[in-house]
């Protein structure tokens, strides 16, 4: 009995240590994560504070949604420069206390967990000094409700507690050998928790039994896997956000520069004739229109990504839709001496969809096909059925697309002809919008090409099941 008690004592001590490590892990990980995000905000603030202040506000709004935490930029008096709180209280007064402000002014990071007078609930707060020429001019503060963090810690502790209870029951009923057998998985769990604390998210425990400890290990493994997936999801989201911000900035830079240049020329009196003035103003209008199209396409794509389906769905006869769309673009084709033809079956082909969006898909594909065809060439549109899907293919006789670029053409802002990437009429979002519309109809898109022999773009839609 004494040996059993000793084993139980060691076992319980291990659980306590493990719980402490888990608590330290969660708090330290949260602090490191908030500090990293705050440092990124500082970089964006220093880069855009004198040029694009809206970028700073947008970044703080994104962080607030992703982190589910308030993100603020404060001056040394605790006043909010950027960001807003979700409540009427602000933790700015906390940073005015000598023990906090002294550390911030000395360039130290402040980490605080607990209750402060100005905020009703307990918070977890990180403050990172904001410097200008090595002088602290304020701070970036990220804080969230401590209850979520405590709940996360308690869930880990609950698992440890379950393990302790299982160990107590088995230790009192079974022999010392069984008790020792139970300790080994818990030791491995402790080691795994330590690896997770060191950043090895997704670390797994080898499960060698199907008893309570084995189930506990599986639960721990699932929890470890979910933690890794959440971290990877946050990283992917941050990567996509950074990529989108970079792409949009890149696309906006050229038209804005052109507009500024021509406007300054007009204001400085460099225009010597009415014809030159008309040319400059025409360029300004053209670039302004391109900016408007870019913003419209971005908003259109963002709206579709936020929705799961389209409103106003109905049965759409593709034969009629294809005929109307082709007839509408024949004038554009004739102006370039391009022969535009349409092939449709005799029977009507019907799908369930949004007619305006499907017209947009075919119009975008036809517009691209005509623009990338040489004078005297041809564009052929074909409507047909393959397996349980209907398809519409658009084939042109243009220069084609290099095979190594085919898989990238559906990406945002990707343009095959780099010489057209900045002064072309397109925004680089047309094919991305086409793909999103088709996928929201339960379909798929494909493209094939041979250099010098044109390209074929095809989209497939499921046939409508009419009663």
Widest pairwise Cα distance in the chain: 106
Stated pTM of the model: 0.43
Q: What structural domains and CATH numbers belong to the chain?
A: 1-200 (3.30.450.20), 243-306 (1.10.287.130), 314-462 (3.30.565.10)
Q: Which pLDDT score, from 0 to 100, does residue 144 have?
A: 82
Cβ neighbours of 250 (radius 10 Å): 13
How far from chain centre, in Å, is Cα 267? 42
Q: Which pLDDT score, from 0 to 100, does residue 313 have?
A: 87
Listed residue (211, 233, 212, 230) closest to 222, CA to CA? 230
Q: How far apart are CA 16 and CA 161, in angstroms?
A: 9
Q: To the nearest 10°, report the CA torsion of 152, 158, 160, 163.
A: -150
Q: How far apart are CA 438 and CA 381, in angstroms?
A: 17
The neighbouring-strand residues paired with 449 are 455
Q: How far apart are CA 218 and CA 168, in angstroms?
A: 20
Ranges of the chain whose pLDDT falls below 50? 418-424, 467
Q: Which pLDDT score, from 0 to 100, does residue 421 have?
A: 42
Ordered alpha helix ranges (H), 49-111 = 53-67, 98-105
Q: Which pLDDT score, from 0 to 100, does residue 322 have?
A: 94
CA distances 113 to 65, 103, 122, 305, 429, Å, are 21, 16, 7, 37, 45
Task: Report pLDDT digits (tens) over 271-283.
Answer: 778 888 888 888 8
CB distance 35 to 109 below 8 Å: yes
Q: How far apart are CA 231 and CA 339, in angstroms?
A: 53
């Amino acid at each position: 009995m004494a040996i059993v008690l000793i084993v139980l004592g060691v076992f319980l001590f291990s659980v306590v240590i493990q719980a402490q490590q888990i608590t330290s892990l969660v708090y330290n990980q949260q602090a490191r994560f908030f500090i990293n995000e705050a440092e990124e905000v500082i970089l964006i603030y220093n880069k855009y504070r004198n040029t694009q202040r809206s970028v700073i506000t947008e970044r703080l709004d994104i962080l607030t949604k992703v982190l589910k935490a308030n993100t603020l930029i404060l001056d040394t008096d605790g006043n909010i420069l950027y960001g807003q709180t979700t409540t009427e209280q602000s933790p700015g007064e906390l940073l005015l206390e000598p023990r906090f402000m002294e550390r911030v002014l000395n360039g130290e990071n402040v980490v605080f967990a607990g209750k402060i007078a100005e905020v009703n609930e307990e918070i977890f707060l990180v403050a990172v000094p904001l410097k200008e020429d090595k002088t602290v001019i304020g701070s970036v503060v990220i804080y969230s409700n401590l209850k979520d963090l405590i709940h996360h810690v308690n869930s880990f502790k609950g698992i440890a507690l379950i393990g302790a209870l299982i160990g107590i029951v088995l230790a009192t009923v079974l022999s010392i050998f069984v008790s020792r057998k139970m300790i080994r998985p818990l030791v491995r769990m402790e080691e795994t928790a330590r690896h997770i604390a060191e950043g090895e998210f997704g670390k797994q425990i080898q499960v060698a039994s199907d008893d309570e400890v084995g189930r506990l290990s599986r639960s721990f493994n699932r929890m470890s896997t979910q933690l890794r997936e959440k971290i990877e999801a946050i990283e992917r989201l941050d990567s996509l956000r950074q990529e989108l911000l970079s792409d949009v900035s890149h696309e906006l830079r050229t038209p804005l520069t052109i507009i500024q240049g021509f406007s300054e020329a007009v204001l400085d009196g460099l225009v010597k004739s009415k014809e030159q003035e008309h040319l400059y103003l025409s360029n300004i209008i053209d670039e302004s229109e391109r900016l408007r199209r870019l913003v419209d396409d971005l908003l259109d794509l963002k709206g579709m990504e936020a929705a799961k389906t389209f409103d106003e769905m109905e049965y759409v006869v593709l034969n009629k839709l294809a005929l109307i769309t082709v007839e509408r673009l024949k004038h554009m084709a004739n102006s370039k001496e391009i022969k535009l033809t349409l092939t449709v079956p005799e029977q009507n082909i019907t799908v369930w969809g949004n007619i305006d969006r499907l017209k947009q898909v075919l119009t975008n594909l036809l517009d691209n096909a005509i623009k990338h065809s040489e004078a005297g060439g041809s564009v052929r549109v074909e409507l047909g059925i393959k397996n349980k899907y209907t398809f519409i293919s658009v084939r042109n006789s243009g220069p084609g697309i290099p095979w190594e670029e085919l898989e990238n053409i559906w990406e945002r802002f990707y343009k095959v002809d780099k010489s057209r990437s900045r002064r072309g009429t397109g925004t680089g979002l047309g094919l991305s919008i086409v793909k999103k519309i088709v996928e929201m109809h339960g379909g798929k898109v494909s493209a094939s090409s041979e250099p010098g022999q044109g390209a074929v773009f095809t989209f497939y839609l499921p046939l409508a099941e009419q009663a």
